[in-house]
Amino acid sequence: MIKVGIIGATGYAGAELVRILTGHKDTRIVWYGSRSYIEQKYADIYRNMFQIVDTKCLDDNMEELAGKADVIFTATPQGFCASVINEDILSKTKIVDLSADFRIKDVEVYEKWYGIEHKSPQFIKEAVYGLCEVNREQIRTARLVANPGCYTTCSILTAYPLAKEGIIDMNTLIVDAKSGTSGAGRGAKVPNLFCEVNENIKAYGVASHRHTPEIEEQLGYASGEKTVINFTPHLVPMNRGILATEYASLKKDVTAEDVKAVYDKYYKDELFIRILDEGVCPETRWVEGSNYVDIGFKLDKRTNRIIMMGAIDNLVKGAAGQAVQNMNLMFGLPEEEGLRLVPVFP
């Protein structure tokens, strides 16, 4: 039985980790860490856990937790994990970090986009970017995994095969993405109030969103060339889900059958990636509550472009589900253990 600690267990991603791991046959949560709710019963914060989780929240003492847990999930704001991690902790336990602290390999890029000093750059090179479908073998032997962001997971996986095969011009890639409000976290913020979000859609972080360099870096690895994109996220009035619509010019003359064959080459054996039939567009409602990624595409011969579309649940495949998928790989478990979650509808 794998002993699990969660720091940030009362945020949305942390709560989703609790939900998933409660149904995982090989894990036992030994630490529900939450700086805001120390000594409060977890089920009093999330009543869906009444008579399921009967324990109180603890603090965020990583040093103490490292001696009690086989793996620690840090579902915390940027900067926390980097500020507390050290060699002694990593010698005792594995870490899956859901923040951006170890996703970007260039520390200067991280500090520029996140506006904070990186406190432990010595671990950046070692950290494995936890996109399971791309870095599976490296994840298996990792001590420290950088769990990808929600927008980045959807954006990268949607374009990855075509970038890898040199089918799209990486200098023309535009990512237009929409997210539900849970992507902004559980903190009380005026822009996330019901009256601010309901009956509205808005762009934010235009030409400045912090997931931009992460997408560029990973698709740059895939394509083998420097990649600079336009990424525009939007907030929509729903709880969960991300839909990414991506546009790029074609470098090769391809048919829909050719494109489908490329996606199948990379994803046909991937349980959690579903390539839709031609003409079927992904929708967030068909992945809600699950670890699936639905991907569709449409060739536009008139403009010589391809439109790629991807949908995920931002809290599952975009956060907690992917983190558990990473944990399964790190401990030699079946990758899908605890994650065969059928999408919820309606």
What residues are annotated to the active site?
150
- How far the first Cα of the chain sits from its last, in Å, is 35
Rounded CA-CA distance 75/7 in Å is 6
Q: Is 270 strand, coil or helix?
A: coil
Rounded CA-CA distance 75/166 in Å is 35
What phi-psi label fits residue 241: left (phi over 0), alpha (psi between -120 and 50 degrees) or beta? left
Which of 242, 103, 235, 223 minimizes the C-alpha distance to 173?
223
Rounded CA-CA distance 264/235 in Å is 31
What phi-psi label fits residue 140: left (phi over 0), alpha (psi between -120 and 50 degrees) or beta? alpha
Rounded CA-CA distance 89/46 in Å is 29
Rounded CA-CA distance 82/120 in Å is 5
Cβ neighbours, 10 Å, residue 122? 12
Rounded CA-CA distance 7/140 in Å is 22
Note the helical H segments in 142-269.
150-164, 194-197, 212-223, 256-267
Pair 152, 206: CB distance under 8 Å: no
